[in-house]
Amino acid sequence: MNAKKNSLPIVVLAGGVGAARFLRGLALVNEPRATTVIVNTGDDTTLHGLNISPDIDTVIYTLANAIDAQRGWGLSEESWRAMESLNKYVKVRPENSNAAPDWFNLGDKDLATHFYRTARRAEGATASQITTEIARAWDLEQQILPMTDDDVTTVVELAEDCIAGKAGDAIGFQEYFVKYEHGVAVRAVTFNGAETARPNGLKQLKDAEVIVIAPSNPIVSIGPIRALHSVDETLQGIRNRVVAISPIVGGRAIKGPADRMLNELGYESSALGVAKMYSPIASTLIIDSADAHLREDIQALGLRCVVTDTMMVDSSVSAALAKTTIDAAIGQNQ
């Protein structure tokens, strides 16, 4: 316990790695139990019959200090015996079969999480219940919420002929992201089921003093959450309390394909492009010092703009970024 810790009701909209790093910093400056995290589940997938929620697991493992920091996903001190043994079957599967997918690595220790989620899902438990149980297993105090308990699937439509198939082919997000290493051009991203899915955390959003849009991919991490019925409207109504952190620094994504994806889908791959996407729902954008020259253009969009160090190379930077984020929101309110 840190005597200087705030205990503000904060909601964070989160994707994977960038959000998880921010949340670890936030836990150092705000009471974890006062924080609610709404996590993207559009890239959930099923492999080997197992229900897998990559962003939720990344958030939970990171907050539990169990993440493999080097990789940014999965558990530290992991082993890969199950995956290694799968090789034997890759060789015998029929040509038209996608069984034994060996492009998505699942560590032996990590498997227990997917086993638990799958078994609870089969018993009829909701994604919220299961996520709460998993977070408790890892001794977390934050409330971790999947963005919805309904099925929403992020589908990536390919732009051109490539190894993945032909233009217009629609593939699952994990296939795009992991199998094809997000190296194929995209012409559309859709969130199947989003219009009818009921969002989680609307009440927490309305009650929060600070709402943070984490430095996650605006299209495939924050996009699915925004696509849920009434989420964008809710955020518009509380816009003065919403602070976004740009995941684009110097025109490039810190991690992942956000920069190319923004370009491919007609946005600008810059903090200014991010500002344009978020200006309807956020009143403040936090950008990296490297983008300080964009401040005026961003302010011209009707956003406050705070310049700071957003490269979360360690948890002290994360904590400082979290503190700056909270201060920006509170300053805005006063």
Closest distance of CB 154 from a second copy, Å: 21
Closest distance of CB 98 from a second copy, Å: 7
Closest distance of CB 50 from a second copy, Å: 6
Nearer to a second copy, 138 or 185 (CB): 138
Residues that bind a second copy (CB under 8 A): 47-51, 79, 81-86, 88-89, 91-94, 97-101, 108-116, 118-123, 125, 133-134, 136-138
Q: Helix (H, G, I), strand (E, B), or coil: what is residue 94?
A: coil
Nearer to a second copy, 74 or 218 (CB): 74
User: In degrees, to the nearest 5, what angle opens at C-alpha 26 toward C-alphas 139 and 52?
Assistant: 50
Residue 14 phi, psi dihedral angles, 5° rounding: -130, 145
Closest distance of CB 168 from a second copy, Å: 24
Nearer to a second copy, 100 or 317 (CB): 100
Closest distance of CB 102 from a second copy, Å: 10
Could you tell me the CA-to-CA distances from 147 to 15, 25, 153, 267, 273 in Å, in that order?
10, 22, 12, 24, 24
Closest distance of CB 120 from a second copy, Å: 5
Nearer to a second copy, 66 or 317 (CB): 66
Nearer to a second copy, 4 or 88 (CB): 88
**Are the C-beta atoms of 278 and 288 separated by less than 8 Å?**
no
What is the Cα–Cα distance from 22 to 92, expressed in whole angstroms?
44
Nearer to a second copy, 77 or 296 (CB): 77
Nearer to a second copy, 113 or 200 (CB): 113
Two structure tokens written together for 42: 């559009």
Nearest to 276 by CA among 266, 263, 267, 286: 267
CB half-sphere exposure, 233, CA atoms < 13 A: 4
Q: What single string gives the DSSP state of each residue in 25-85?
A: HHHHHB-GGGEEEEE--TT-EEETTEEE-HHHHHHHHHHTT-B-TTTSSSBTT---HHHHH
Closest distance of CB 123 from a second copy, Å: 6
What's 293's DSSP letter?
A: G
Could you tell me the CA-to-CA distances from 296 to 12, 47, 218 in Å, in that order?
26, 47, 21
